[in-house]
Structure 1
Amino acid sequence: EKNIDEVLQTHTVFSNVSKGQVAKKDELSAAFGTEDQLEICKIILEKGDLQVSDKERQAQTDQTYKEVSQLIAEMVVNPDTKRPIPTSVIDKALHELHFSLKPNRNAKQQALEAIPKLREAIRLERAKMRIRIAMPSHEAKITHSRLKALFSELELEDWAEGGLEMVSLANIAVFSWTTSAK
């Protein structure tokens, strides 16, 4: 953000904001080499450390935990019913496994790390995606064997009308890898 007024509530520098103690000019001059509060605010924003309260940290952790549970729920299914597993079941299993979040990793990375651990507590498997591919026969001759290797359950393979149409269930992880390899 370029506009400092959008970032700060006030241009006043405090020695203790929770007690409402405004910093004295001699303290500011000694610490920052200037008494200009706007300039000091800019220095603090550029070089200072953000202090997060326990409540804010806990709220952020809770939010990330919910995000991890939601991502897992989107990635896995019950192997018997092929239905999604409720986030409440995933939350409970994560807590029983004492799964702890790592603050330096994003929710998706942590969700992917948690899935193998969750298998210890609940029956689950990665969700599969139904994919339909249609291509002209000259391209199909080149890519057919590669595509077939990626698909776990081929539902349709039709060499009609000068081309190939394939419909299959594929592991999402395999499909993600193929799209990112471009």
Structure 2
Amino acid sequence: MISLEDAVTARLESHGARFEVLVEPDAALAIKRGEFDGELEDVIAAEDVFENASRGDRPAENDLETVFETTDPMEIIPEVIKRGEIQITADQRREMQEQKRKQLITRIARNAVNPQMDDAPHPPERIERALEEAGFRIDPMEPVESQVDEALEDLRPVLPIRFDEVTIAAHLPAEYAGSAQAKIRQYGELEREEWQADGSWVGVVTFPAGLQNEFYELVNEQTSGEGETRIIKDEDDIKTR
């Protein structure tokens, strides 16, 4: 269950009756698109169907039977969402818009680089300012994933940007290799690894290019600054950091 404060109202009017349910906004959109694969009870504020949710009024059972051929709320709730409209207040819209704005900035920062600065990552603050300069507006009713391409199109005139992945080799001294390699290998896709004769560890990891600085910080933290990293362009072209 979610709290009432986190829920929006989905409303269906049919056969002269009104039906309302309280549901988490993103889950409501996923259910409406047929993309929801979670547990319904985890994304609703009440296992109930209302005629007026704000007053707590319930519809007549014969109206439920007429429209849905059942009185079971857990069967009716998804139908109200799919067939009805999602109602949000101005405050809810602003809050959803702000949450998705932050999610969009994070997603772009994790994956984007500056092709004019040797593919260096863009800090989230820079992306935020560029989005404002470009006048991009987040749609609170659309998934963040579906808005990334449009945001990039708006960003390109004001910010050199490209989505990319980076492959980095990390060398961990023997003193730190045992514990550090477990965290390094989980950072992205481990392309290959090798334990050296001196007990040190070398691993090659591929991950979103925008996470480079975080990766370097992780290696430094895990090895007290004694680890080494190399950006691998291809098998023959290695750039030492």
TM-score by length of 1: 0.52
Alignment RMSD: 4.0
In structure 2, C-alpha distance between the alignment counterparts of 1:76 and 1:3, rounded to whole Å: 35
Structure with the greater alpha carbon radius of gyration: 1
Secondary structure of the 1:16 match is coil
Q: Using a 3 Å threshold, how does the CA distance of structure 1 residues 156 and 48 change in structure 2: closer, same or farther? A: closer
Residue among 50, 59, 70 paired with 2:95:
59
Deviation at 1:81, TM superposition (A): 6.0
Question: Does the Cα contact within 8 Å between 1:77 and 1:127 map onto a contact in 2?
Answer: yes
How many aligned positions are there? 134
Q: Using a 3 Å threshold, how does the CA distance of structure 1 residues 127 and 107 change in structure 2: closer, same or farther? A: same
Q: Using a 3 Å threshold, how does the CA distance of structure 1 residues 118 and 30 change in structure 2: closer, same or farther? A: same
Q: Using a 3 Å threshold, how does the CA distance of structure 1 residues 125 and 3 change in structure 2: closer, same or farther? A: closer
TM-score by length of 2: 0.41
Residue among 75, 80, 104 paired with 2:111:
75
Q: Using a 3 Å threshold, how does the CA distance of structure 1 residues 3 and 66 change in structure 2: closer, same or farther? A: closer
2:49 matches 1:17: no
Q: Which stretches in structure 2 are left out of the alignment for 5+ residues?
A: 1-37, 170-190, 193-231
Q: Using a 3 Å threshold, how does the CA distance of structure 1 residues 168 and 31 change in structure 2: closer, same or farther? A: farther
1:1-182 superposed matches below 5 A: 7=44, 9=46, 11=48, 14-18=50-54, 20-23=55-58, 28-29=60-61, 31-33=63-65, 39=71, 41-42=73-74, 44-49=76-81, 50-78=86-114, 79-80=116-117, 82-102=119-139, 106-130=143-167, 156-157=235-236
Q: Using a 3 Å threshold, how does the CA distance of structure 1 residues 39 and 31 change in structure 2: closer, same or farther? A: closer
Secondary structure of the 2:46 match is coil
* Identity over aligned pairs, percent: 22
Secondary structure of the 1:48 match is helix
Question: Does the Cα contact within 8 Å between 1:69 and 1:111 map onto a contact in 2?
Answer: no
| Structure 1 counterpart of 2:176 | none
| Greater strand fraction, Structure 1 or Structure 2 | 2
